[in-house]
Structure 1
Amino acid sequence: MQIRQAKALDALAIARVHVDAWRSTYEGIIPDEYLHKLSYEGRTKLWLENLKTDIVFVALNDRHEIVGFATAGVKKTKGYDVFQGELYAIYILKEYQGMSIGKQLVHKVVEHLKTLEINSMVVLVLKENPAVQFYKLLYARKIDSLTISIAGKTLQEEVYGWEDLEPLLEGNKQ
């Protein structure tokens, strides 16, 4: 598995992972009508814009196809002032989950945050998202729970955080 920084040319492939991962991850959590309306075209436009301002890392399989991505930077979420950084998104195609790709992507994100002199990070995740376990395995601490609405459905979103990112780097040293 190769991890590298994304380029504008990757926007469509990132959009495909984004849409497909949302559909598989959030099936039965977010209303189907909303998930079916997600489009590669719409998400490609979103990622073309995001790539202008955000750092995105992509995971490529042996055929050099993008199968996952992560993006992070200075914290955008209001509150949680003890935290400086934020993992904005991390998605991996269902058939590639459980292969340590998420850990590799988080490692790249943390390396990037450290170059910005950021040593703490939050992530927001839907409570029903199985990825909650991923963050717990990485020793994230639950710091809050929020009520949000997506497509008219009320959902719980949990806020997890790392007050020190150094252990996330140490855990990936060979």
Structure 2
Amino acid sequence: MYIRKACLEDAESIAKVHVDSWKSTYKNIVSDEFLKNLSYDQRKNLWNRNISDKENYTFVAVNNEGEVVGFADCGKRESNNIDNSGDLKSIYLLEEYQGKGVGKQLFKQLFLQFEELGYNRVFVEVLEDNKTRYFYEYYGAHLFKSDKITISGNELNLLIYEWSNIGEVLSKL
């Protein structure tokens, strides 16, 4: 298993991981109808744009067979107007690779990127019912604020966490 910067040729593989991991991660959190309608093609277009964006940093986890089994990306959301800060936008893994340290490797790569960018604060948005929030809390994220988000007509709690010491996070990794 290794982590590398994503390239445009990875967009299709990232899209597959994105859709498949949403279907496993958000089952019983968002509607089955919404999950059923997720599209590899739509996500591929999204990832072509994300990878092409010079302000977005995307990394992939690749298994020994050369297959993309996870991805993560970071940068600064348009809604983030806090100086010297960035956003962990996503980390997703195929279900069979969860709990094996792959997410931790991707997480570390993102924080190395934040450090390189000179950020001193990092934010992440996570649905309250998504167990990944405990991973973030373990690595020192503190609840910054909560909000509501509507997905497929269902109102869900969105938690925004913050890390205020990137070096501290990296020392735990």
Contact 2:61–2:68 (CA under 8 A) maintained in structure 1: yes
Q: What's 2:95 paired with?
A: 94
The CA deviation string for residues 105-157 of structure 1, in whole angstroms up to 9 with x for no partner, is 11111111222111220000000011111111111111111111001000001
Q: What's 1:49 paired with?
A: 49
Q: What is the rounded CA distance, in whole Å, between the counterparts of 1:126 and 1:41 in structure 2? A: 24
Structure 2: give runs of 5+ residues left out of the alignment: none
- Aligned-residue offset at 1:162: 0.2
Q: What's 2:76 paired with?
A: 74
Figure out how many residues of one structure are paired with residues of the other and give that number: 171
Q: What is the rounded CA distance, in whole Å, between the counterparts of 1:3 and 1:47 in structure 2? A: 17
Contact 2:80–2:86 (CA under 8 A) maintained in structure 1: no
Contact 1:83–1:122 (CA under 8 A) maintained in structure 2: no
User: Match for 2:117: what amino acid?
Assistant: L
Give the SS at the match of 2:78: coil
Contact 2:73–2:90 (CA under 8 A) maintained in structure 1: yes
Q: What's 2:22 paired with?
A: 22
- Aligned-residue offset at 1:169: 1.6
- Aligned-residue offset at 1:76: 3.3
The CA deviation string for residues 4-34 of structure 1, in whole angstroms up to 9 with x for no partner, is 0000000000000000010000011111111
Structure 1: give runs of 5+ residues left out of the alignment: none
Q: What is the rounded CA distance, in whole Å, between the counterparts of 2:84 and 2:102 in structure 1? A: 25
Q: What's 1:9 paired with?
A: 9
The CA deviation string for residues 25-73 of structure 1, in whole angstroms up to 9 with x for no partner, is 0011111111111111110011001111121010011111111111001
Q: What is the rounded CA distance, in whole Å, between the counterparts of 1:72 and 1:167 in structure 2? A: 18
- Aligned-residue offset at 1:78: 3.9
Q: What's 2:113 paired with?
A: 112
User: Match for 2:12: what amino acid?
Assistant: L
TM-score by length of 2: 0.94
Q: What's 2:34 paired with?
A: 34
Q: Structure 1 91/38 Cα, relative in aligned 2: closer, same or farther at 3 Å?
A: same
Q: Structure 1 34/83 Cα, relative in aligned 2: closer, same or farther at 3 Å?
A: farther
Q: What is the rounded CA distance, in whole Å, between the counterparts of 1:131 and 1:159 in structure 2? A: 13
Q: What's 1:124 paired with?
A: 125
Q: What's 2:63 paired with?
A: 61
Following superposition, which runs of at least 4 residues in structure 1 exceed 2 angstroms of deviation?
74-79
TM-score by length of 1: 0.93
Contact 2:75–2:89 (CA under 8 A) maintained in structure 1: yes
